[in-house]
Amino acid sequence: MTIAEQVAVRTYPPFSLHNLIEGTFKPKPGQKICILIELDEPHDAVDFKFLENPDLSVQRNAYQHFYVGLKEGVLDQLQLKGGDLLAYQTTGGSNLDLPDLAVASDGRELSLERDVYTNYDIILCISNYSATAPLTAFAKKYGFRGATLHGLNQTILTTGLAVDYDEVSRLGELLRLGMTRADWVEIDFECLDHNHTLRLDLGQQEAQKSHGLCRGDEPDVANLPAGEIYYVPTGAHGEFPMKYEDGTLGIMTVADGRVQRAKLLTGNPQTIALHNAKLASDPATGIIGELGFGTQVLPVSGKDIQDEKILGTIHIATGRDDHLGGGVTPDKFTDAKNATHDDILFAPHKTPEINVTQARMSRDGKIEVLIESFEPSGYLTGLIA
């Protein structure tokens, strides 16, 4: 069956906050947990004023399904403390460093570094923009565990967060073992009758997996929903098409491991001009920092946080990669506002103008096909059969 056919017949258990926290963290009695959200005005967290704004659906989900869930049973069931809801000012970009001020729902003004990272054992960050990179850095510094759940919506709640993450981890490990220590991956793209190939050098590194488990005493931050195999490329060259937020399509020329320039295919020339200006003024923004493959059978949610975890999709990312084990840290950027980690997802619903005709891997002296037209190859399905 195709991935779409598998999704059509799959059923999911009801979402359970208890099961998610227990399964992800295996928390110990007495540990302290909190929820972070982002707001344009953090003081709107006081007395939950932000609930009056119908546009803040992510924050509303954080309140309804996490804060209320903790306060109305899960804290007691898991013998946890806290359950506080805190807000920081929105960063405006993926994985930008977080401001230090946090405002609690009871009106307290707190320092994330002095009052939160040091005083909570588990931190759940439910935001519009991903905070995985900065929270991972702070987790290593202060010793907490956490999870980032940006873009949280109803589809994610009822599917991607309702699965058994022990099973996600088991299947992910089978895929990881079949993809680890690769020499390179080549991706063939077709866009508007043009063909392009991007080659990503991997240097026989150990492939990593995002599997939703963040147990034990080691500081760590899970990205939920989880389910991907990923690498930090050691180099890259070639070309790939990219669809911008305004629908503009461009071709990215890659050399020496980073996007050097963009060329217009169709759409707004100003979009391409602005991108080229950013690449010229801040070259770190073009560094290819991640190659990822989805591992789960999930429905499209409309949010990349889940949709990049769907088996058959592929994504690359530019910019910051220190949270993945890479060396592109915020200080490598000319402007701190550019120190983002930006995923570029290729999937039928997201990029219908772009087809991944084939992705293949060189490993152990063999070439293995991984994906063809957004369907996993026989090699991948055989790993988890």
Does residue 105 surpass a pLDDT of 90?
A: yes
- Report phi then psi at 91, rounded to 5: -85, -30
User: From residue 89, how far is each of 41, 42, 111 by CA, in Å?
Assistant: 6, 5, 12
As a whole number of angstroms, the distance between CA 3 and CA 349 comes to 13
Q: Which residue has the tokens 């009695």?
A: 29
As a whole number of angstroms, the distance between CA 308 and CA 345 comes to 6
Q: What's the pLDDT band for 137 if we cut at 50, 70, 90?
A: very high
Does residue 10 surpass a pLDDT of 90?
A: yes
Three-class secondary structure of residue 111 per DSSP: strand
As a whole number of angstroms, the distance between CA 222 and CA 201 comes to 26
Cα–chain-centroid distance for residue 59?
18
Classify residue 119 by its DSSP letter.
T
As a whole number of angstroms, the distance between CA 50 and CA 127 comes to 13
Sign of the C-alpha dihedral, residues 342, 347, 352, 357? positive
Q: In terms of C-beta density within 10 A (0-12 exposed, 13-18 middle, 19 or more buried), how is residue 184 classed? A: buried
As a whole number of angstroms, the distance between CA 170 and CA 295 comes to 11
Domains of the chain: 17-159 (3.40.50), 165-383 (no CATH)
As a whole number of angstroms, the distance between CA 243 and CA 248 comes to 6
As a whole number of angstroms, the distance between CA 306 and CA 45 comes to 26
**Beta-bridge mates of residue 340:** none
> In the prediction, which pLDDT does 217 show?
87
Q: What's the pLDDT band for 1 if we cut at 50, 70, 90?
A: confident
Classify residue 271 by its DSSP letter.
H
CA angle 272, 273, 275 (to 5 degrees): 65
Considering the entire predicted model, what is its pTM? 0.96
pLDDT digits (tens, 9 = 90+) for 313-348: 999 999 999 999 999 999 999 999 999 999 999 999
Q: In terms of C-beta density within 10 A (0-12 exposed, 13-18 middle, 19 or more buried), how is residue 120 classed? A: buried
CB of 199 within 8 A of CB of 238?
yes
Report the 10 Å Cβ neighbour count for 47: 10
pLDDT digits (tens, 9 = 90+) for 294-317: 999 999 999 999 999 999 999 999
Please compute the mean of the pLDDT values over residues 24-40 and round it to a whole number. Answer: 98
As a whole number of angstroms, the distance between CA 62 and CA 56 comes to 10
Does residue 68 surpass a pLDDT of 90?
A: yes
* 352: CB partners within 8 A, 6+ apart: none
Q: Which residue has the tokens 């037209």?
A: 373
As a whole number of angstroms, the distance between CA 73 and CA 18 comes to 9
pLDDT digits (tens, 9 = 90+) for 36-61: 999 999 999 999 999 999 999 999 99
Does residue 227 surpass a pLDDT of 90?
A: yes
* Cα Rg of the chain (Å, integer): 21
Question: Among the residues of the chain, which ranges form H helices?
Answer: 3-9, 17-25, 57-61, 68-69, 75-77, 132-142, 154-155, 165-179, 269-281, 304-307, 378-383
As a whole number of angstroms, the distance between CA 207 and CA 257 comes to 18
pLDDT digits (tens, 9 = 90+) for 273-294: 999 999 999 999 999 999 999 9
Q: Tell me the one-letter amino acid at 238.
A: G
* 54: CB partners within 8 A, 6+ apart: none
Closest alpha carbon to 231 in 258, 214, 209, 198 = 209
